[in-house]
């Protein structure tokens, strides 16, 4: 049973034996500017912390409430759950918590809802915090912004729409009065960056059913590349019982198209997020139909609304029990009229409207905005990495800054000079700059393409920094809250900028040269520099062998920007290091921190704990250490593994076919 007290309190009952009481705000990630990313997350985290504190229930009795928060695309929900007395006591605190003092330096942001296809949402709703929900980033001033937002979020202030709900009718009106007829605050007609919301049906945003293979613009029909292979299509349906029925029928129709092409129809799944008056529906499959993908999706685009009447009737019957309490509550929180249920005509209309705003996950046949090297504006300024600064960045890597773009290019080995791989981000498509604690920059664009590098590991770093400041001026700079170690970059830069003694000036030049020559000529273990393919074995000067195999990509959630890659390492010790400047065990010792992983743009991934991790050890000659190394980072589709030690040995294992050609 579901009912209402006034316009702002909902009560319902279900099978949960615990009492629940909560509030849904008509505010979400789509309403948060990119420059304010993390603000709502901190607000909800602080409220959860305060509401979760134990409550006194009487002499010798203490209650511990459960507090759940959800940060979605266009709503945010706060829920207290527990025994009736415990839930009520915790809830009574809430009216006094909408104040900045609850946000402290110890407040950690919550993990928001992850949009399935962020690039698609950018097309539909503009640039906002939802586009960055898959990475743990926040604005530098997010805490101050959160403190300022809390008083506005207070339901008593009447600034933002909110709807309360409970499973215990005796708690209706506790903390916040029942409002009988007031309409509430008028919702904004735009998302965070000014993109207009679709208020009167998704069909108004479409361009018609005659352009299925053109690049998607806004909510119009078209294609765009998927960030994940699992995403097949997206479209819009009304945020109603009829829309939910239509979404399930679309899944069934796509499953039928896949079955006709010989693929498993049960593999087609569905996901949805709210975008105001509509649901954005994503159909996906972990076993996408390979080479038949274009044929299957185009066939679906032609037939998606031609659903048999019997299917529609069955779908309407499924809605006979009425809409869910959550859907009813969210509609009121967003200023939408109550939904009266679905009939066949409404479902059929929803299917027709969905055809007008269909986005197919396909590479567009024609794309006027496609970026190529020749399309950059103005002369390029080329920056090359410090030799040895970041192990994977050698002479085959360049960073190119043009007037309207930033590009990082790497050359892989092969006949005829190899292949140049380019990651290029146009300035007008850039979404934000993410900066981690080590100073690594990651520029992310509307298509979720990421270009990452550390300016200090390039030659002429001061000039590069100046050019970047100009190039990236006006873009939101956000803190990337990973575990990057600033000292690691400093060590790599010192190693890269270390000069041989013969470069010293004056009378010491000859002496220095003789000293260096003497040391090198008497060393039995010259520094080893190898660039090899994963699976091959490197041998150091003392006979130590290191074999790295794998580049095993571990499964990740479709919404995660970061991925995990594992490698298996076998380290077998040779003899002592005989150079007098180094300890004998230098090349017989191994540690996980001797290894690093980098993507094609030479951005470092971070090492994470694993069950079979390679252990730190000093080995006797002939002994071997075997273990795994698991790294997590952005853009690890074509990873590289590096090994260095204090002697200066430097080995890189490349993905197959990626070893750079000799300079």
Q: 598 exposed, middle or buried (CB, 10 Å; 0-12, 13-18, 19+)?
A: buried
Tokens 């090492």 correspond to 607
User: What CATH number is given to the structural domain containing 571?
Assistant: 2.60.40.1240
With beta carbons less than 8 A apart as the criterion, state whether 163 and 333 touch: yes
Cα–Cα separations (whole angstroms), residue 25 to 28, 126, 338, 558:
8, 21, 17, 27
Listed residues 155, 171, 187: the one ending a domain: 171
Residue 105 lies in domain: 2-171
User: What CATH number is given to the structural domain containing 18?
Assistant: 3.30.830.10
- 319 and 392 together in one domain: no
DSSP string, 517-556: HHHHHT-SSPPPEEEEETT-EEE-TTS-EEEEEEEEEEP-
- 8 and 56 together in one domain: yes
**Higher-scoring residue by pLDDT: 607, 191:** 191
pLDDT given at position 520? 30
User: What CATH number is given to the structural domain containing 389?
Assistant: 2.30.29
DSSP string, 267-304: GEEEEEEEETTEEEEEEEETT--GGGHHHHHHHHHHHT
Report yes or no on 514 lying in a domain. no
- 537 and 581 together in one domain: yes
Between 307-316, 405-414, 480-489, 571-580, the lowest mean confidence (pLDDT) is in 480-489
With beta carbons less than 8 A apart as the criterion, state whether 423 and 407 touch: yes
**Rg of the Cα atoms in the chain:** 29
**Residue 76 in this model has a pLDDT that exceeds 60:** yes
User: What CATH number is given to the structural domain containing 321?
Assistant: 3.30.830
pLDDT given at position 252? 94
DSSP string, 307-361: --HHHHHHHHHHTTT---HHHHHHHHHTTPPPP----HHHHHHHHHHHHTT-EE-
pLDDT in tens, 12-23: 988 888 999 999
- Beta bridge partners, 235, equal 281
C-alpha torsion sign, points 31, 34, 35, 37: positive
Report yes or no on 509 lying in a domain. no
- Please, how many CA atoms are within 13 Å of residue 276, restricted to the half-sphere of its CB? 20
pLDDT given at position 390? 44
Report yes or no on 563 lying in a domain. yes
Instruction: Identify the band that residue 523 occupies on the pLDDT scale cut at 50, 70 and 90.
Output: very low
- 17 and 82 together in one domain: yes
Listed residues 360, 383, 402: the one ending a domain: 360
- 123 and 267 together in one domain: no
pLDDT given at position 388? 54
- 349 and 411 together in one domain: no
Q: Cα(492)–Cα(483) distance, rounded to whole angstroms?
A: 17
Q: Cα(494)–Cα(558) distance, rounded to whole angstroms?
A: 38
Count of other CB atoms within 10 angstroms of residue 412 = 19
Q: What is the DSSP pairing of strand 222-223 with strand 359-360?
A: parallel
- 164 and 41 together in one domain: yes
Any residues with CB less than 8 A from the CB of 277 and at least 6 apart, and which?
197, 198, 199, 200, 201, 238, 239, 334, 336
pLDDT given at position 226? 66
With beta carbons less than 8 A apart as the criterion, state whether 628 and 612 touch: yes
- 149 and 210 together in one domain: no
Q: Cα(652)–Cα(548) distance, rounded to whole angstroms?
A: 10
Instruction: Identify the band that residue 366 occupies on the pLDDT scale cut at 50, 70 and 90.
Output: very low
Report yes or no on 519 lying in a domain. no
Count of other CB atoms within 10 angstroms of residue 527 = 14
Q: The pTM is what? A: 0.74
Instruction: Identify the band that residue 132 occupies on the pLDDT scale cut at 50, 70 and 90.
Output: very high
Instruction: Identify the band that residue 216 occupies on the pLDDT scale cut at 50, 70 and 90.
Output: confident
Mean pLDDT of the chain: 84
Between 91-100, 282-291, 613-622, the lowest mean confidence (pLDDT) is in 282-291
Instruction: Identify the band that residue 283 occupies on the pLDDT scale cut at 50, 70 and 90.
Output: very high
**Residue 501 in this model has a pLDDT that exceeds 50:** no
Q: Cα(504)–Cα(509) distance, rounded to whole angstroms?
A: 6
pLDDT given at position 92? 96
Report the pLDDT averaged over residues 519-547: 73
pLDDT given at position 206? 46
- 286 and 399 together in one domain: no
Report yes or no on 513 lying in a domain. no
- 351 and 229 together in one domain: yes
Report yes or no on 82 lying in a domain. yes
pLDDT given at position 200? 61
DSSP character at residue 580: T
Listed residues 333, 360, 387: the one ending a domain: 360
At 178, list the tokens. Answer: 């029942």
pLDDT given at position 431? 96
Count of domains forming the chain? 4
Strand positions, DSSP E, 156-248 = 162-166, 222-223, 231-238
- 356 and 391 together in one domain: no
Any residues with CB less than 8 A from the CB of 99 and at least 6 apart, and which?
150, 151
With beta carbons less than 8 A apart as the criterion, state whether 202 and 188 touch: no
Report yes or no on 603 lying in a domain. yes
Instruction: Identify the band that residue 391 occupies on the pLDDT scale cut at 50, 70 and 90.
Output: very low
Q: What is the longest distance spanned by two Cα atoms in the chain? A: 96
Tell me how far apart the terminal alpha carbons of the chain are, to the nearest angstrom. Answer: 74
Between 54-68, 81-95, 108-122, 233-247, the lowest mean confidence (pLDDT) is in 108-122
Any residues with CB less than 8 A from the CB of 583 and at least 6 apart, and which?
577
At 311, list the tokens. Answer: 């299917």
pLDDT given at position 214? 82
Report yes or no on 569 lying in a domain. yes
**Residue 209 in this model has a pLDDT that exceeds 80:** no
With beta carbons less than 8 A apart as the criterion, state whether 137 and 478 touch: yes
With beta carbons less than 8 A apart as the criterion, state whether 378 and 587 touch: no
- 291 and 206 together in one domain: yes
pLDDT in tens, 436-489: 888 899 999 999 888 988 999 899 999 999 999 999 999 999 998 776 666 555
pLDDT in tens, 285-337: 866 566 678 888 989 999 998 999 999 999 999 888 888 999 999 999 999 99
Any residues with CB less than 8 A from the CB of 651 and at least 6 apart, and which?
528, 529, 530, 531, 532, 538, 546, 642, 643, 644
Cα–Cα separations (whole angstroms), residue 432 to 118, 182, 390, 454, 560:
14, 40, 24, 16, 17
Report the pLDDT averaged over residues 602-612: 83
Q: Cα(108)–Cα(143) distance, rounded to whole angstroms?
A: 10
- Phi first, then psi: what are they for 396, rounded to 5°? -85, 0
């Amino acid at each position: 049973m579901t009912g209402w007290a006034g316009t702002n309190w909902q009560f319902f009952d279900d099978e949960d034996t615990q009492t629940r009481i909560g509030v849904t705000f008509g505010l979400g990630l789509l309403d948060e500017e990119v420059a304010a990313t993390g603000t709502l997350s901190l607000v909800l985290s602080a409220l959860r912390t305060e509401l979760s504190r134990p409550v006194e229930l009487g002499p010798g009795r203490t209650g511990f409430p459960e507090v759940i928060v959800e940060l979605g695309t266009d709503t945010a929900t706060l829920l207290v759950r527990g025994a009736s007395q415990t839930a009520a006591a915790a809830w009574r605190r809430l009216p006094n918590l909408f104040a900045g003092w609850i946000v402290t330096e110890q407040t950690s942001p919550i993990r928001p809802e992850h949009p399935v296809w962020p690039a698609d949402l950018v097309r539909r709703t503009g640039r906002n915090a939802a586009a960055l929900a898959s990475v743990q980033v926040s604005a530098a001033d997010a805490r101050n912004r959160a403190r300022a937002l809390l008083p506005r979020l207070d339901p008593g202030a009447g600034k933002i729409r909110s709807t309360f709900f409970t499973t215990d009718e005796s708690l209706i009106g506790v903390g916040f009065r029942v409002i009988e007829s007031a309409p509430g605050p008028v919702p904004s007609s735009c998302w965070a960056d000014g993109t207009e919301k679709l208020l009167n049906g998704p069909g108004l945003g479409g361009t018609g059913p005659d352009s299925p293979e053109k690049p998607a613009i806004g909510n119009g029909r078209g294609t765009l590349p998927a960030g994940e292979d699992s995403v097949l299509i997206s479209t819009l349906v009304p945020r109603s019982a009829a829309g939910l029925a239509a979404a399930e029928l679309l899944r069934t129709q796509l499953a039928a198209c896949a079955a006709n092409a010989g693929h498993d129809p049960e593999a087609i799944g569905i996901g949805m997020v709210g975008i105001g008056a509509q649901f954005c529906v994503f159909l996906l499959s972990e076993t996408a139909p390979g080479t038949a993908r274009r044929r299957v999706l185009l066939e679906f685009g032609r037939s998606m609304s031609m659903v048999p009447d019997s299917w529609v009737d069955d779908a309407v019957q499924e809605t006979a029990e009425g809409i869910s309490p959550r859907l009813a509550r969210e509609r009121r929180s967003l200023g939408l009229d109550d939904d009266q249920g679905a009939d066949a005509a409404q479902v059929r209309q929803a299917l027709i409207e969905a055809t007008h705003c269909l986005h197919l996950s396909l590479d567009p046949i024609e794309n006027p905005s496609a970026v190529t090297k020749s399309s950059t504006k103005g002369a390029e300024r080329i920056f090359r990495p410090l030799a040895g600064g970041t192990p994977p960045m050698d002479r085959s890597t360049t960073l190119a800054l043009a007037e309207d773009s930033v590009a990082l290019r790497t050359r892989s080995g092969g006949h005829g000079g190899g292949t140049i791989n380019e990651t290029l981000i146009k300035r007008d498509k850039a979404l934000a700059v993410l900066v981690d604690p080590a100073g690594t920059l990651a520029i992310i664009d509307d298509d979720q393409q990421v270009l990452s590098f550390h300016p200090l590991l390039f030659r002429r770093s001061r000039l590069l920094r100046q050019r970047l400041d100009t190039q990236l001026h006006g873009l939101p700079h956000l803190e990337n809250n990973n575990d990057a170690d600033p000292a690691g970059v400093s060590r790599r830069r010192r190693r890269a900028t270390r000069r041989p003694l013969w470069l010293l000036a004056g009378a010491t030049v000859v002496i220095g040269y003789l000293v260096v020559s003497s040391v090198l000529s008497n060393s039995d273990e010259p520094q080893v520099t190898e660039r090899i393919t994963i699976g091959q074995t490197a041998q150091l000067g003392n006979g130590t062998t290191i074999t790295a195999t794998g580049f095993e990509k571990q499964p990740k959630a479709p919404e995660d920007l970061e991925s995990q890659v594992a490698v298996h390492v076998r380290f077998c010790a040779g003899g002592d290091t005989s150079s007098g400047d180094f300890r004998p065990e230098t090349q017989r010792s191994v540690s996980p921190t001797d290894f690093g992983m980098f993507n094609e743009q030479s951005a470092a991934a971070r090492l994470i704990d694993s069950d079979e991790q390679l252990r730190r050890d000093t080995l006797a000659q002939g002994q071997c250490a075997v273990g795994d190394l698991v790294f997590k980072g952005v853009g690890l589709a074509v990873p590289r593994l590096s090994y260095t030690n204090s002697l200066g040995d430097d080995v890189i294992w490349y993905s197959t076919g990626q070893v750079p050609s000799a300079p």
